[in-house]
Amino acid sequence: MLDGTCHCGRVGWRFDGLPESTTACNCTLCRRYGTLWAYDYEGERISIRGPVARYVRADMPASLEIQFCPSCAGVVCWRGLEVDADGRRRIAVNLRLTEPAAIAHLPIDHFDGLVAFDDLPRDGRCVADLWF
């Protein structure tokens, strides 16, 4: 199990288990936030605690919201605005809010959210290569 909190500690998340990898996206939003995402479904392996503020991009069709701490502005997660065909809602937590040693071994998947909107090939790097 992983836990993460914003800088002030008012908002946090829990990921039951350990993700197999983390995703770095190069879209205009993710690269500004500097996030590393771990995905699952709301109410399944991911839970959020504390009061959050929300941001929805206005420059494209809205598909997700960014949730962040209203006090320190730490980006906690993104949450899908729609549920999928089986009634589940996608959510991803920002792994940069957990302790680095717990996720240092995770491989980094790269997602081209800027141009192709597609996964890129793995390059062999893991979180430890990025943070340490």
* pTM more than 0.95: no
What is the token pair recorded at 125?
Answer: 């790097």
Could you tell me the residue ranges of all domains in the chain? 2-131
Place of tokens 């770095």: 24
User: Which strand ranges, in their side-by-side order, compose the sheet holding 12-15?
Assistant: 2-5, 12-15, 46-49
Percent of the chain with pLDDT over 70: 98
Continuous H helices in 3-103: 28-33, 100-103
CATH code of the domain occupying 2-131: 2.170.150.70
Q: What digits encode the pLDDT tens for the residues 47-88? A: 999 999 999 987 766 789 999 999 999 999 999 999 999 999
